[in-house]
Amino acid sequence: MNPRQACLDCLARSPGAPFEAALWVAAEHDPALEVGTVMASLHHLQLAVNATLPSLPARELAQPLLRSLNAQGFAQDERHPLRPEAALLHQVLARKRGQPLALGLIALELAGRLDIPLLGVNFPGHFLLQVPGADHCLDPCGGRRLYPADCRELLARQYGPGQALRADHLATASPVQIIQRLSRNLRYLHASHDQYMAALKDAERVLELGSGTVADYLARADLYQRLQCTQAERFDVERALLLTEDPAQRLRLAERLKALRTEPRHLH
């Protein structure tokens, strides 16, 4: 079975298996990766974390779990510019450095193995975690509690002042949404390091996992442009034009399409 299909199969399970799915995403980029070996090796981290957890009810153990991971050396990757290794899960496990989403995936997998209730939260710009029913979120990068005021401050740091905190910012992330978000992260990281074929794999996965946004189609169109695949680029620009409701963007995309129709066709 190829890595893409294995990833999709993990998400089709009930419940879904986003951690294993993320490893299969990594296997698309690293053919030498043995997913089963990494899954088995996580047992050692599980034992180390479990040995540090206090004797508390299960729903009170999420924050201690995150603090234990931090004590084991897991932390946010602060390198600039950030490299794809910050989102490729096997690399994050080896380096103990990663994006909040990658650290969150590790925490969610351990929580599931230890029967600790924990959910992913699709917060813009910084993936969060939450115990079901709690009045706060948890930062996967160390376990800090984030109440609504903290979330508003985090949102302002990510996108500037004046951004209103909405209910959908704190929505629970399904396994499919988690892997789609991971794929977007990898698409950006690979493209920013001129790894266009790798980024194209991620861009295709984003669209295979669910309805694509205007930005998703334009991101893939830009990759096709880099790879001189004019026909494929034109298809994605057309899809973006159908989806957008922004008049200014519609004008820009119409002009781009007009220019593409006059270019020689490249078959790939």
Sole residue written with tokens 């984003």: 206
- Report pLDDT for 264: 62
- Closest by CA to 45, choosing from 117, 137, 116, 114, is 114
Cα angle, residue 179 at apex, residues 83 and 4 outer, rounded to 5°: 90
- What CATH number is attached to the domain comprising 253? 1.25.40.10
- List the structure tokens of 23: 């490893």
Pairing of strands 97-98, 119-121: unpaired
Residue 164, domain member (yes or no): no
Is a pLDDT exceeding 70 seen at residue 102? yes
**Which H or E run contains 139?**
none
Confirm if 90 and 64 have CB atoms less than 8 A apart. Answer: no
205: domain range?
175-261
Q: Is the domain of 110 the same as that of 51? A: yes
- Report pLDDT for 265: 55
* Chain centre to alpha carbon of residue 20: 13
**C-alpha to C-alpha distance for 250 and 253, rounded to whole angstroms:** 5
Confirm if 65 and 107 have CB atoms less than 8 A apart. Answer: yes
Residue 153, domain member (yes or no): no
- Report pLDDT for 263: 67
What is the average pLDDT across 215-230? 97
Kindly state the percentage of the chain with pLDDT values over 90. Answer: 93
What is the average pLDDT across 22-33? 97
**C-alpha to C-alpha distance for 102 and 266, rounded to whole angstroms:** 37
Tens-place pLDDT, residues 169-204 = 999 999 999 999 999 999 999 999 999 999 999 999
Q: How many domains does the chain have?
A: 2
Q: Is the domain of 141 the same as that of 253? A: no
Is a pLDDT exceeding 90 seen at residue 11? yes
Q: Is the domain of 186 the same as that of 251? A: yes
Q: Is the domain of 92 the same as that of 184? A: no
Three-class secondary structure assignment of 65-109 = HHHHHHHCCCEECCCCCCCHHHCCHHHHHHHCEECHHHHHHHHHH
Q: Is the domain of 137 the same as that of 182? A: no
Average pLDDT, the chain: 95
Q: Is the domain of 117 the same as that of 239? A: no
Q: Is the domain of 86 the same as that of 214? A: no
Residue 150, domain member (yes or no): no
Is a pLDDT exceeding 70 seen at residue 134? yes
Residue 266, domain member (yes or no): no
Residue 268, domain member (yes or no): no
